Amino acid sequence: MTVPEPQAPRSPEPGAAVAAGAAVPPPTETMAWVVDHTAPAAERPLRRERRPLPEPGPYDLLIKVRACGVCRTDLHLAEGDLPPRAPRRTPGHEIVGRVLAAGPAAEGFAPGDRVGAAWLAGTCGTCRYCTGGRENLCPDSRYTGWDVHGGYAEHVVTDSRFTYRLPEGPPDEELAPLLCAGIIGYRALRRAELPPGGALGIYGFGASAHLTAQLAIAQGASVHVLTRAEPARRLALELGAASAGGTYDDPPVPLDAAILFAPVGDLVPVALAALDRGGTLAVAGIHLTDIPVLGYQRHLFQERTLRSVTANTRADGRAYLSEVARHRPVVHVQPYPMSRADEALADLAGDRVTGVAVLVAEE
């Protein structure tokens, strides 16, 4: 899989766009889900509404959404764990679709192209983080489904410089989770600094974890999964994990590294205590409940390291998509029609999803 590099800026007329297909003009309206109010997902805080079709700007792509993964970050947004950046925002940042129209500066893309959009939607491009290869830390970074409307919709507009070209072949619903669950898992694995052939602990086993486990196994690691749901433990073993136990169980061997995917701060000292000397725990989520007091001798001494994971860079995305082109993961998908996005989110909150929930476009 290849993704075009960001193009040099131009100064075209704002709002200009290349229309999709000469024979069939784009529609004038679209249906989209919005966070109507923050509340537990079981109370269905999402509402579906009709709105004007968005107009792509100079660097933008207008995309017909074919599939969109349902991420725990969407759940945090709907339930209020992440403060809304704007009212009535459309969630969703694991988007697969087809280009309908492209702005004049969106070089390298054309109507009909298969593309994907991920969590990182834009950066300033000039700060020391952007120029130093750490654009995920840009203070002015913007995120799909939080700062700009996301993919729980029939159509979405994305910045072409933060959009990935996707290959033909794999089903839309299998590609969608790679664009966040996969990419963030890839970055978390890098942040965990697992030595070659080492023992990796994975705490929680949802969408991102089941993809990360497969990547680590393909790279020669032994993976030990610790999660509360029995179906998830069975899936971990089916995918090649060396062991699968309860969330608070001790792994069968000292861990060289661990990744915490569950948004549960109580698990931080548990995972740190399971690390061998010099091990690293990477916390992969954007939201985590409070961490209990850590004991220095038990949790941090002997050069154990605790670190967070913040979003991803486009380089992470390109590297991960290259990895899965070589070692295509098994993506366990639980599909939902786009019209049932509220149900999918409620099922995610209620631990009724094994693998990853994906919204699929309805013709």
Domain ranges of the chain: 29-177+332-360, 182-308
Structure tokens belonging to residue 288: 């985590």
Please name the residues in contact with 89: beta carbons below 8 A apart, sequence gap of 6 or more: 34, 35, 77, 145, 146, 149, 150
Residue 23 has pLDDT above 50, yes or no: no
pLDDT band per the 50, 70, 90 thresholds, residue 3: very low
Fold of 182-308: Rossmann fold (3.40.50)
Dihedral of CA 274/278/282/283: which sign?
positive
Q: End-to-end CA distance of the chain, in Å?
A: 27
Beta-carbon count within 10 A of 23 CB: 5
Structure tokens belonging to residue 150: 């996301």
User: What does the pLDDT read at residue 26?
Assistant: 62
DSSP 318-351: HHHHHHHHHSPPP--EEEEEGGGHHHHHHHHHTT
Strands (E), 134-189: 142-143, 155-159, 163-165
Average pLDDT over residues 213-223: 97
pLDDT tens for each residue of 139-168: 999 999 999 999 999 999 999 999 999 999
Q: Which residue has the tokens 């590294």?
A: 257
Task: Name the nearest CA neighbour of 31 among 46, 54, 49.
Answer: 49
In degrees and rounded to multiples of 5, residue 140 shows phi and psi of: -105, 20
Q: Is 74 helix (H, G, I), strand (E, B) or coil?
A: helix
Of all residues in the chain, what percent carry a pLDDT higher than 90? 87
Q: What is the mean pLDDT of the chain?
A: 92
pLDDT band per the 50, 70, 90 thresholds, residue 339: very high
Tell how far CA 99 is from the center of its chain.
Answer: 21
Alpha carbons within 13 angstroms on the beta-carbon side of residue 197 total: 0
Q: Give the global pTM.
A: 0.87
User: What does the pLDDT read at residue 5?
Assistant: 40
User: What does the pLDDT read at residue 355?
Assistant: 83
Task: Name the nearest CA neighbour of 6 among 93, 119, 106.
Answer: 106
Average pLDDT over residues 184-203: 97
Asked whether the domain spanning 182-308 has the same topology as the one spanning 29-177+332-360, the reply is: no
Residue 17 has pLDDT above 50, yes or no: no
User: What does the pLDDT read at residue 12?
Assistant: 36
Structure tokens belonging to residue 81: 């764990």
Of all residues in the chain, what percent carry a pLDDT higher than 70? 93
- Place domain 29-177+332-360 in its CATH homologous superfamily: Medium-chain alcohol dehydrogenases, catalytic domain (3.90.180.10)
Where b means 16+ CB within 10 Å and e means fewer, 308-341 reads ebebbbbebbbbbbebbeeeebebbbbebebebb
Average pLDDT over residues 229-233: 93
pLDDT tens for each residue of 315-330: 999 999 999 988 889 9
Average pLDDT over residues 274-296: 95
Strands 114-117 vs 95-102: parallel, antiparallel or unpaired:
antiparallel
For 13-27, 170-184, 280-294, which range has the lowest pLDDT when averaged over its residues? 13-27
